[in-house]
Each structure stands twice: as structure tokens, then as C-alpha cells.
Amino acid sequence: MRFETTIQRPVEAEGIGLHHGVKVRIRILPAPPMTGIVFLRTDLDRFPIPASWRYVARVSYATSLMRQGVLISTTEHLLSVFYSMGIDNAYIEIDNLEVPILDGSGDPFVKLLREAGVRTYRRRKRYYRIRREVTVEQKGKRISIQPAASFFLTCNIFFDHPLVGEQSLDLEVTPENYATEISPARTFGFSWELDALRNMGLIRGASLDGGVCFDRTTVMNPGGLRFPDEPCRHKALDLIGDLALIGKPLLGHVVAERAGHAMHTALVARIMSDPSLYEMITYDQLMERSGTPLNGWATYAEPKPEPAVIGTAGD
């Protein structure tokens, strides 16, 4: 919690991209302090694309990054795992334009990072502590972040399906909570939408091995759901992956109501556009103020200024 981290040793995986349907191999390597998470397109002379809000290119059904015309698609699952498992610095060698979907969840990446181990540097980790509420809302969807002394999520979704409907999740995000409660949740879709998505050039690599598919009444996957509220947990996974584009761990309570990638990244852009909305703080400084360990969830008590509210395009 106090110091920046990377992985101890390289690890790799290969699979199919969900949307482009391409075969892809990734290799995760240690990186020095202050590097952040950086993708390296090995098929393009290791062209670097930092995992940063500055390079968000597309947010339709996945979050894609682009730098100087070079694309990395479907970044949210892998970034969600790095962020929640406390890995600050890493290089990700990737030989195609999309991160592999694997089983559709974050679980395979959690296992990779556990295999890789953690190396701790002497450089102190710095957090973005939210100082006042920020809200993005549009057409019945809303996402906000409020001041808090840890990273906490409230996620609410609604889909008109008998096995989904309204679902909600409240969780403090720690490595342990994330690995057991969020990372196993898979991406999902509905059978009657598949043709339209394929006509849009999406889900070319989709299969029941890489996500959950609902028909009108049931789950088509032979093993069923991993959690009764698996869709909501996966939306939380996606949300964390998009927030990871801030580049440093957040201290705040995020409340997402039917939000998606577009609203997630709009919130990130709003936060980063106004330095008065946050302060940079170390673990020790936080402890001096709140007296509570970062993984213990304590509300940072201070008067709340008027919240900032903006609108954005829909998801």
C-alpha cells in the first residue's frame, strides 16, 4: 500500500480478441517506478501506448486506446486486474490490436499476476484523493465519485431479462475482495442482439468459452452463472478498468447507475481536467489525517463543497 510495485517475473497468455476475432499473445514484464502500465505493440516495433485517459479512442462496447493511429482494443479487463491487485508499473507486450478475452472475466489475469509475483520499490505510492463530488449524467444514467478514504464502489444495473433485472453491488475494492467477488464475473450478452453486433463489426471472437450469453429465458452456458448477480459484478469489473486510466489509485466512493464505458471515461476526463477536484496524497499522509488503514474503509470527514455536475453523450 505504501510503495509502488511491479511484477517479479514475466508471464504470458494467448487467446482470441472478443471484437476483432484475432489471435493474440500478451507478455507482461516488470517496469521501473513511475512507468505506469504501458502496452507495447510487438508487431509494430514495440510501439508504446500508455494506459492513460489521454489516449482513449473508442468506448463502444469496449474501451480502446490509440496513439498516433496505433490501436489497442478491449483494455478494460486487464487494466481492472492491474489496478485492483495493486500493480502500478508493467509493460504489456502484445502482438495484435486487441487484448485476448480468455474466459471473459478478470480471473485468468489475476492468476497470471499471482504467478508473476510482486516486487515492491522504495518509491512511495501516490493516490488521487477526491476532494468534492463529481457527477456525470445523461438520459437516466449517472455516475459520480464522492470523497472517501478508500476506494469503494456502488454499482447498479438494469436489464429486462428474468435472470438479470435490477442488480446492485456495494464493495470496498481491495485485492482480496476483487479476486473473490469481482474478477470471476464474465462479460455477457443477449442472443437477440448478436446479429446486430456482428453487423457492426463487433464480437467476431465471441463464444460461450469467453462470456455469458442469455437467451429470452435462460443462460445458454452449460455451467450457468458464477454468481446470481454476475452481470452487475462484471459491470463493476469494467468500471474499475476504465477508472484505471487515471493512472494512479483513487480514494473515493464511485456510484454508477446504469453507466457504461462512455460515462466511465467521461468521469475520468472530468476529474483530470480540474486539479481542484483531487489532491495527491501518500499512504502515510492519509494515515495521519484519518488514522485508519487504507484497506479498512473510513470516511474522510470534512465539509462537502457544492458538487460538480456535467452531462455527456450516452453509452
Residues 169 and 73 in one domain: no
pLDDT at 24: 98
pLDDT at 312 over 50: no
From first CA to last CA, the distance across the chain in angstroms is 34
* pLDDT score of 295: 52
Question: What pLDDT digit, counting tens, does each position of 25-52 carry?
Answer: 999 999 999 999 999 999 999 999 999 9
pLDDT of residue 310: 44
Cell readout for 280 is 495527491
Whole-angstrom distance, CA of residue 235 vs CA of residue 308: 24
- Same domain for 89 and 35, yes or no, is yes
Q: pLDDT per residue over 75-130, tens digit each?
A: 999 999 999 999 999 999 999 999 999 999 999 999 999 999 999 999 999 999 99
Domain count, the chain: 2
Indicate which residues carry an active-site annotation.
261
Q: Which region holds residue 110: left if phi is over 0, alpha if psi is between -120 and 50, else beta?
A: alpha
DSSP secondary structure string for all residues of 246-313? GSS-EEEEEEEES--HHHHHHHHHHHHH-GGGEEEEEHHHHHHHH-S-GGG------PPPPPEEEE--
Instruction: Check which CATH number belongs to the domain holding 291 and give it.
Output: 3.30.1700.10
CATH of the domain at 79: 3.30.230.20
pLDDT for the residue 311: 45
Q: Which amino acid is at 3?
A: F
CA distance 104 to 298: 33
d(CA 229, CA 164): 7
- Judge whether residue 315 has pLDDT over 90: no
CA distances from 182 to 58, 99, 107, 210 (A): 24, 19, 9, 16
User: 225-264: per-residue pLDDT in tens?
Assistant: 999 999 999 999 999 999 999 999 999 999 999 999 999 9
pLDDT tens for residues 177-217? 999 999 999 999 999 999 999 999 999 999 999 999 999 99
> Domain range for residue 282?
127-311
C-alpha cell at 267: 468521469
Same domain, 176 and 59: no
Give the pLDDT band of residue 288 (cuts 50, 70, 90): confident
